[in-house]
């Protein structure tokens, strides 16, 4: 049994074709038990992603998004087998081959190999892009071979962050991406800079989760800034789906550096302590009464927190707040905390509620993927 149709189709298309050195990922995990690795992902609570490939011991997957009608239009994350969390690696399927290769572009040997084999890579990529309905590597080829870049390649280490920005600006050419990198520049230029919440209260598209985590973490680190000037950053972070894009860096570069969501949330959850009056008072009444407030408070106060109050919050957000996206995010957060504690009952409960939610709101593609992957999970649950 395969985890989903997309993965099984790609495995069949590329059967007996070694593309690892061309794509920097492969569709069959060749270094061990593929199903064991996939089951680890699901048991950690990440039923909300759709795996399709492997990069070393990491899993590449589409992040299912209720705001997108097709999974092809959603961002691609890497489930890191060491951190056991997910990190955005590409804005869409059209950018995944260039961006997985960009990781090593500063290495001369790797770059030279790409330059020598780019036409072979393009030929190998055609079935991949045909399967997903379009895409090409012309930008990638131009980047590798253009005369203007050869000088930069001599100091590729120095330019790798600019390369990253250029790739994202090409494959995610949106106003949201432009705003995100404008904010990143300010954060990089002044490591002590924390913007007023109102100055950055924007929709950053695919960067929303990352920026929410980064600003909450920076707010927490600023000891001299009063909590009343931090709480909005904390509250935005608390409402995001936990377990995605937790940067452990002080934000000195564009590239997402790996970190742990529980570290960020454990820090800011201290401010949600209803018994600590000096901190509790900074939140307005509508925030204190919001179901996610109590759930965030529990992260720090409840030993071995497994997400039960996030499940409760998800139900309230759907039934009383008429907020299906908020409900979805709360279920992802609940599943993250349950997965950290190895509480499969709660992981499965979140998963089942997400299937019901997707059916209720007509998220047909998400409903189908969640249901298909649940069959895979229960088939191997007691075997792996």
Divide the 384 residues of the chain into consecutive groups of 10 and give the mean pLDDT of each group. 97 94 94 92 98 96 94 95 97 98 93 96 98 96 95 93 97 98 95 91 96 94 81 96 91 91 94 82 92 96 96 98 98 98 98 98 97 98 89
Structure confidence by residue, pLDDT tens digits, 328-367: 999 999 999 999 999 999 999 999 999 999 999 999 999 9
CA distances from 283 to 201, 216, 234 (A): 17, 15, 10
pLDDT at 51: 98
Residue 56 region by backbone torsions, left for phi larger than 0, else alpha for psi between -120 and 50, else beta: left
pLDDT at 185: 96
Widest Cα–Cα separation across the chain: 64
**What global pTM score does this model have?**
0.96
What is the spatial distance between Cα 146 and Cα 26, in angstroms, rounded to a whole number?
28
């Amino acid at each position: 049994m395969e985890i989903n149709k997309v993965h099984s189709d790609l495995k069949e298309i590329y059967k007996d074709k070694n593309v690892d050195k061309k794509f920097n990922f492969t569709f069959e995990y060749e270094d061990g038990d593929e199903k064991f690795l996939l089951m680890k992902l699901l048991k950690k609570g990440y039923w909300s992603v759709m795996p399709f490939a492997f990069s070393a011991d990491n899993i590449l997957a589409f992040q299912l998004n209720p705001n997108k009608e097709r999974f092809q239009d959603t961002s691609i994350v890497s489930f890191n087998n060491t951190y056991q969390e997910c990190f955005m690696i590409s804005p869409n399927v059209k950018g995944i081959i260039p961006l997985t290769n960009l990781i090593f572009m500063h290495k001369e040997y790797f770059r030279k190999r790409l330059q020598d084999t780019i036409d072979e890579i393009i030929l190998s990529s055609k079935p991949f892009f045909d399967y997903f309905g379009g895409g090409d590597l012309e930008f990638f080829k131009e980047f590798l071979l253009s005369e203007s870049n050869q000088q930069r390649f001599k100091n590729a280490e120095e330019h790798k962050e600019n390369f990253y920005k250029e790739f994202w600006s090409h494959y995610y050419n949106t106003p949201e991406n432009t705003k995100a990198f404008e904010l990143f520049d300010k954060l990089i230029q002044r490591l002590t800079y924390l913007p007023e919440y109102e100055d950055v209260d924007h929709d950053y598209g695919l960067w929303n989760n990352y920026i929410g985590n980064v600003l909450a973490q920076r707010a927490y680190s600023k000891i001299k800034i009063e909590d009343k000037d931090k709480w909005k950053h904390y509250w935005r972070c608390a409402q995001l789906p936990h377990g995605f894009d937790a940067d452990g860096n002080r934000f000195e570069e564009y590239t997402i550096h790996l970190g742990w969501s529980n570290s960020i949330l454990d820090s800011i959850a201290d401010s949600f302590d209803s018994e600590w009056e000096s901190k509790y008072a900074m939140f307005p009444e509508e925030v204190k009464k919001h179901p996610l407030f109590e759930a965030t408070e529990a992260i720090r106060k409840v030993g071995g927190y497994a997400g039960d109050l996030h499940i409760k919050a998800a139900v309230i957000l759907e039934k009383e707040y008429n907020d299906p996206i908020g409900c979805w995010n709360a279920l992802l957060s609940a599943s993250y905390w349950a997965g950290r504690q190895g509480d499969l009952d709660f992981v499965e409960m979140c998963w089942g509620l997400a299937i019901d939610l997707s059916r209720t709101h007509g998220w047909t593609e998400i409903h189908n993927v969640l249901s298909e992957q649940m069959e895979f999970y229960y088939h191997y649950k007691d075997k792996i």
